[in-house]
Structure 1
Amino acid sequence: MKCIILAAGYATRLYPLTKNKAKPLLEVAGKPILNHIIEKVEKVDIIDEVYIVTNEKFTPSFQDWSANYQGDKEIIVVNDHTTTNDNRLGAIADIQYVLEQHKIDEDTMILAGDNLFDFELVDFVHFFQEVNADSITTHELDDTDEMKRTGIAEVNEDGLVISFEEKPKKPKSNLAVPPFYLYKAETLSLFKQYLAAGNNPDAPGNFIPWLIQQKQVYAFRFKGLRYDIGTIESYNKVQELF
């Protein structure tokens, strides 16, 4: 299994903190957000390579980070060669860029580089292996305003995703979908198909409503919280919590 960590954004909402520092490299509780994520990835034995996709501006920072990495996974920093927020590829186009450049043809975990979470990725992988199908993560939210700011899924009693909407005005359920996904090897070619059809290349959740029209996708429901660091306020809140 491979792992792709999405880290190619410019995090303009966090300026000035991220003007010269990539958001995943901001520190929370004394270490970069990326370290918190990698510690969870390290527990998944079947992942042998981790691809961190970033932009031209922050490639040297991630290369420095990987040079100091002490873990047992091979880290590959991928430069998508974008230079500003205006010419960024978007997360889904970045995924396709990594798949194409590195000819990935194995089951793949995809994680946002700016979210912290309580659950273990090992449990997510076990679920994925049991259902033997593409899988997303979900957790319950009780705040309607929060629901409107994230992806929301409807799931049937078998755990099958029956609908998905990114940032819905009227959420159909309280199941939030953070940007943590597991895709079967045979699904990877669909990213190219999705983009070729002119679909939105940005937020990785946009792929899900399209994908559930093509094949079955299951939802792994986790307990605990996840923390999306998108604004100065959310960053300060996470600092306090951790």
Structure 2
Amino acid sequence: MRALLLCAGYATRLYPLTLNQPKALLPVAGKPIMNYIMDKLLELPALEAIYVVTNHKFYTHFLEWKNRYKQAAVKKLPLEVLDDGSTTENNRLGAIGDMDFAIETKKIEDDLVVVASDNLFNASLLSFVEEGKAKNKPVVGIYNLKDKSLASKYGVVDFDQNKKLTFFEEKPQNPPTTWVAMALYFFPQPSLTFLKTYLKEEKNTDQPGRFIQWLYRREDVYVWELPGLWFDIGSKEVLEAANLAFR
């Protein structure tokens, strides 16, 4: 099993904080957001390698971070930073494009955990991966915001008693539930072939939820309910709230 961290965005909503610093390396309670995610990934016993895909603008930032993190990490795993070549918002590949780029570049033919680097959470991912491996189907992490007005800003989901996804829509005006999809995915190796088909049929390469919205109509997709804290670091207000919570 491999893991892929999506870190190629430009986070313009957080300017000036992210003008010369990638969002994933912003500190929360004294350490970079990336470190929290990495710490959870390193708990996964089946993990064999971790890839970080970023843009050309912030490539050296992540190389420097990698050297610092590798020195501090106890578990020694291959950790590689990939440069997708983009330099601005105008020529970025998008999250789905970056998934395809990383899979092609590293010739990934294995189960894959994908995490967007603005996901900040404190729960273990062990049961998430166990569920994906047991079902041998895609699994998406979800969180209950308990507020439909907040949920309307995300990909909203619904599911049956077996936790199979029955509804997914990006930013609906009238959400049927308060459950939203995080950018946290488990893809068994056979499911990765669907990505190429999606890219041939659809033009949206940005929001990874668009791929799930397309995929669940073609293959069974399951959900995993994230316990504990979750912050989607998309604004200064959320960043400040995360700092308070993680302190």
TM > 0.5 between the two? yes
Distance in 2 between the 1:75 and 1:180 partners?
19
DSSP-derived class of the 2:91 partner: coil
DSSP-derived class of the 2:228 partner: coil
Aligned to 1:67: 67
What is the number of residues matched between the two proteins? 242
| Paired residues for 1:52-201 under 5 Å | 52-68=52-68, 69-70=70-71, 71=73, 72-201=76-205
Distance in 1 between the 2:209 and 2:202 partners?
16
Verify the 8 A CA contact 2:137 2:191 in the aligned structure 1. Answer: no
1:130 CA drift (Å): 2.3
Residue type at the aligned position of 1:11: A
Aligned to 1:210: 214
Distance in 1 between the 2:98 and 2:36 partners?
22
Distance in 2 between the 1:43 and 1:18 partners?
29
1:199 CA drift (Å): 3.2
Verify the 8 A CA contact 2:96 2:206 in the aligned structure 1. Answer: yes
Residue type at the aligned position of 1:228: D
DSSP-derived class of the 1:158 partner: coil
Distance in 2 between the 1:9 and 1:187 partners?
25
Distance in 2 between the 1:173 and 1:52 partners?
33
Q: Sequence identity of aligned pairs in percent? A: 37
Verify the 8 A CA contact 2:145 2:178 in the aligned structure 1. Answer: yes
Distance in 2 between the 1:144 and 1:180 partners?
21
Aligned to 1:9: 9
Residue type at the aligned position of 1:18: T
Distance in 2 between the 1:217 and 1:52 partners?
25
DSSP-derived class of the 1:170 partner: coil
- Cα deviation 1:133-171 (Å, max 9, x = unaligned): 111111222112210111111101111101101111111
1:116 CA drift (Å): 0.5
Q: Mind listing any 5+ residue stretches in structure 1 that lack a counterpart? A: none
Q: Mind listing any 5+ residue stretches in structure 2 that lack a counterpart? A: none
